[in-house]
Amino acid sequence: MIRLTLNLPDEVAQRAQAYARETGRSLEDIFAAYLQQLKPDPAALPELPPALARLKGAVQLPPDADYKTILAEELQKRFGQ
């Protein structure tokens, strides 16, 4: 295990300590859980079923595509609302 030292603003550290006390968890557990959410371990992710695995990457969207806008437009076309 790697030992890590963090320099945090006093207010942030105090809020983190208060949160840890309120939830009954250690700061170490809270930071570790947060960092795991940022980039989950690929080995821990469930394997896709074969049918979905074949579809992965089949649709290429522009980087600026907004799925909510696309969905709203398609719903408008289909249902006219």
Domain positions in the chain are: 10-79
The DSSP code for 49 is: P
Angle at 32 between CA 6 and CA 29, to 5 degrees: 95
- pTM, to two decimals: 0.47
Q: Which two tokens stand for residue 69?
A: 């806008």
What digits encode the pLDDT tens for the residues 9-22?
A: 999 999 999 999 99
How high does pLDDT run on average in the chain?
89
Q: Which residue has the higher pLDDT, 48 or 43?
A: 48
Rounded Cα distance between 71 and 78, Å, is 10
